[in-house]
Chain A
Amino acid sequence: MMIELSAGFLPLTDSAILIAAREHGFAEAEGIALNLVRETSWANVRDKLAVGQFEISHALAPMPIASNLGLTPFDCRLIAPMALGLGGNAITVSSALLERMRQGGAFEMMDAKAAGHALARVVRAGRAEARKPLQFGVVHPFSGHNFELRYWLAASGIAPDEDIEIVILPPPLMADALASGQIDGYCVGEPWNTVGVIQGAGRIITTKSSIWASSPEKVLAVREDWAEQNAPTLHALLRALYRAAEWCGQPSNHIELANLLSSPKYLGQPAGVILPALDGSILGEAGSAASPDFFQPHGRAATFPWQSHALWFYSQMVRWGYVTHSAAHAETARRSYRPDIYRTVLSEIGVPVPSANSKVEGALQRTIAVGASSQFLYLGPDGFFDGTIFDPDRLDAYIDNQKV
């Protein structure tokens, strides 16, 4: 008998693993009838998880952490037993802003440092002329977008909230907001950067993978009480999603995956708009190199829920004043991610799984083979563009350092 599971998702390319699990029989093979419900806001996903309309959902990586720290309206404990890929976001700016950024000299697209310097020059000039601060859009306060944008700005010498105002907008409305001049730039998941470029609203200036290589973006959020009461179903689901991730990561499947995602019930965008994120040909300046690391649904342990990722998001929630730092809060954040469940389930079927729960983010300058429960596992590079290292064992020092 099939077990029915309802999952929410937002129309983004990184919902690919869930969609492939349903459409390519991976869920069915594990006895799961996966019902995917397209949502219009992360607030809906949060609320429907809380009232039990969803057992599981496509979720922003910081969402389970925010929920467990009591930063959401309802008491609802969530866990992330699996990540849904690495990377997949980009920063797009209006043509007008790009022109101003170029006045200080040409810069290499996709180079987060150079793009940051160029933007900092525009901001300094704006400050001198007492211009109104630039506005950038992100999709949600507790999102990878908000935290990587803020990290990039701050490390480039720009003060978020003072030099640049960050506003919240739903992903499908970003391109229009940019075209109409309502905002000057945005940080969003694909395909909404490519959509903006194709509409002529702006250009992609850097990517999430350039700001922080192999960085976390979406997770599978699961209600903790449901996970405890339905362990066999959860385990079956993780196996199905792992197989789906493997399928999504195969370059020979990218065209088929783009076609699948383009369906009106999923992303509702042409396959040609979705494909650049999958094959790394994401639109930058003409002649710029393709970036195969842009979105990783499978390679580099892309579905492993590193607790160092959870703690980094927590450090940024502290940095920008969403929560006060305490040992108890840090522990809540760390335990929101459950690599233990992932390891138990997937090592049983011979998948190479990292033997550590955390890693030092930024330690790997290139891809290397590391210790895994079986076979070899390739990780990294995983560095931040400014060369700073995040050691989860030195969380307090990291939080102190980012105050200045």
Chain B
Amino acid sequence: MAETLPSVLIIDENPTRASIIEAGLSAAGHTQVMVISEMSGIAAKIALHEPDVIVINLENPNRDMLENMFQLSRAVKRPIAMFVDRSDKEAMQSAIDAGVSAYVVDGLRQERVKSILDMAISRFNAFSRLERELEEARGALEQRKVVEQAKGLIMKSRGVDEDTAYKLLRKAAMNGNRKIVDVAESLVMSAGLLGNEGTE
């Protein structure tokens, strides 16, 4: 008889990230995956669902509460321990670097848990990468806006076309050994200070 895969509870206040992990686990054949983003009544929920593995993100301020509950609570009937055993420092390191931690019920075999944690780690890392890229894209968009604004200011005060305005900006940057966006930023800022809003 094929062994059923362990049931997993994901505790994450970020629903997007939780659903990415959930999807990954489902794709890997896990049929019992539950997501919780609300900590209230957590003991009762754990007692009801009796998950084999609990995955939680490190920013969650309730880890201390959760760990204490595993040790003492009458509601949680099966003993739950931190997954990474004392010898497996590498797995623990990558989990913590990724920002995730896991707890498992006692007696669950290591190799059955490892694939779940590996999945959580890779999805956490992918999510952080996405967030970083989004942040960078936002930054790039902001920079483009500033350059556009500076070009507008130059066009208005010098009466030149867009192309010439950009060349003037680039020349000023080269002469001053600065980035175009930095020159544009100081131009927009000083225009603001001098009360010359005039790009629109």
Contacts of A73 in B (CB 8 A): 81-82, 84, 86
- B68: Cβ under 8 A from any A Cβ: yes
Question: Which one, B61, B82, B89, B97, contacts A41 given CB within 8 A?
Answer: B61
A369 within 8 A of partner (CB): no
Q: How far is the CA of A48 from the CA of B62 in the complex (A)?
A: 16
Residues in B whose Cβ lies below 8 Å from that of A43: 63-64, 67, 101
User: Which residues 194-222 in A have Cβ within 8 Å of B in the complex?
Assistant: none
Which chain A residues lie closer than 8 Å to B93 at the CB level?
A: 51-52
Judged by a CB distance under 8 angstroms, whether B65 is at the interface is yes
Q: In the complex, what residues of B have CB within 8 A of residue A44's CB?
A: 58, 63
Could you give, for residues 97-139 of chain B, a 1 whenever the CB lies within 8 Å of some chain A CB and a 0 otherwise? 1000100000000000000000000000000000000000000
CB contacts (< 8 Å) of B58 on chain A: these are 40-41, 44, 47
Query: Which residues of chain A are within 8 angstroms of B62 by Cβ–Cβ distance?
Result: 41, 170
Does B92 touch A at the CB level, under 8 Å?
yes
Proximity string of chain A (286-306) to chain B, C-beta cutoff 8 Å, 1 when within and 0 when not: 000000000000000000000
For A, the interface residue count at a CB cutoff of 8 angstroms equals 23
Please, which residue of chain A has its CB at the minimum distance from the CB of B60? A40
Complex CA–CA separation, A48 to B63 (angstroms): 14
Interface residues of A in 265-299 (CB under 8 A from B): none
Q: CB-nearest residue of chain A relative to B82?
A: A73
Distance from A314 Cβ to chain B, minimum over Cβ atoms (Å): 19
Residue of B nearest to A141 (CB): B68
Contact A41/B60 with A47-B92, A48-B96, A168-B65 known, Cβ cut-off 8 Å: yes
B38-79 contacts to A (CB < 8 Å): 58-65, 67-69, 71
Q: Which of A50, A168, A173 contacts B68 (CB 8 A)?
A: A168
- Assembly CA distance A140 to B72 (angstroms): 13
Q: With A41-B61, A41-B63 in contact, is A51–B96 under 8 Å at CB?
A: yes
Please report the C-alpha to C-alpha distance between residue A53 and residue B95 in the assembled complex, in whole angstroms: 12
9 new A-B contacts, CB < 8 A, other than A40-B60, A41-B58, are A40-B58, A43-B67, A47-B58, A47-B92, A50-B92, A52-B93, A168-B65, A172-B61, A173-B61
4 pairs of A and B residues whose beta carbons are closest in the complex: A73-B82, A170-B61, A43-B63, A168-B68
| Residues in chain A within 8 A of chain B (CB atoms) | 40-44, 47-48, 50-53, 73-75, 139-141, 167-170, 172-173
